[in-house]
Amino acid sequence: MNVNKTLKKLFSLTLTILLVISCNKKNELNKNKNNEDFNNYKIHSIPIPDSLTFSGETVDLNENDLIQRFDKEILVNTYWQSNTLQLIKRSRKFFKIIEPILKKEGVPDDFKYLAVIESGLENLRSPKGAKGIWQIMRGTGRELGLEINNNVDERYNLELSTIAACRYIKKAKNKFGTWTLAAAAYNRGMSGVNKALKKQNVKSYYDLLLGNETRRYVFRIHAIKLILNNPNNYGFFVKDSEYYKDDGFEVMNVDYPIKNLSEFANKNGINYKTLKIFNPWLIQNHLNNRSRKKYKIKIPK
């Protein structure tokens, strides 16, 4: 009996030693693999292009200050992968609506990237009260012909707000002479840009000393344009099937009040949520329309 007990103890001890040796070897292998993976993980700087244009105008990259400002935006937007990947995925859905309006209004196609940096192509509300994809303030929106009240807010209407943004951009271009300054004015305001130009006695955006937001603003447009035009070059790979899209829609011309939008949606084969997704400018659950204005309401196919 004692011999058997001794053998069992020796067997158990041997097994334990073998398990310890095996675990140590496994840990060593994992450590080596982790070290190898770490050594293979590299974060690269992004090459600065030799030349860039915006709306047919040359982007000035002839000073260290300008190069570093562009470098900051290209790095931020390349390595903030989750955010930029969403921008790429949203772009086709919204650009197909924005692009023909810009063309019709005589505004360069590059201004679609201004909408991207303003809102990320989402119907946001800023802390200062700017709303919609083009982030238009209430007073400015009314001056540009948008209806804005407690019942309807056309800043959330992509087609109408794009037309309004074009009006502002063209007005700024006529005032300052370049599309680049017009883009800066969209952020700073025409009055703010005009005061800065006069105070500093310069004529170009690239010669201006500005506050941080407007200082970054135009270079953010340049960076987003570059990445969205060439996503693969910056490590973003999206299949055609992975881009965001909607199912298409038909337009109903409505020139009468609607007492209950939920009932209106149901009568047209959709629910209230879907109606609001396609028509975010409808603020309440009814449409007053005392003036018998003709509204275009989107009904998804």
Into how many domains does the chain fold? 2
One domain for residues 254 and 290: yes
Residue 166 maps to a domain: yes
242, 265, 283 — which closes off a domain? 242
One domain for residues 138 and 276: no
Pairing of strands 57-58, 53-54: antiparallel
242, 266, 282 — which closes off a domain? 242
Is the pLDDT reported for residue 272 higher than 50?
Answer: yes
One domain for residues 64 and 195: yes
Residue 44 maps to a domain: no
Mean pLDDT for the chain? 90
DSSP SS3 for 251 = strand
One domain for residues 59 and 175: yes
Task: Identify the domain containing residue 179 by its residue range.
Answer: 53-242
Amino acid code (one letter) for 111: F
Q: Is 284 exposed, middle or buried (CB count within 10 Å of its CB: 0-12, 13-18, 19+)?
A: exposed
Model confidence at 8, pLDDT cuts 50, 70, 90, reads low
Q: Which H or E element spans position 253?
A: strand 249-254
Instruction: Give the ranges where the chain is alpha helix by DSSP (H).
Output: 2-40, 64-79, 81-105, 112-119, 138-143, 158-176, 179-188, 190-200, 212-229, 261-267, 272-278
Mean pLDDT for 154-175 is 98
Sequence-distant (6+) residues with CB within 8 A of 57 are 178, 179, 180
Residue 42 maps to a domain: no
192, 227, 242 — which closes off a domain? 242
| 29-38, 124-133, 219-228, 245-254: segment of lowest average pLDDT | 29-38
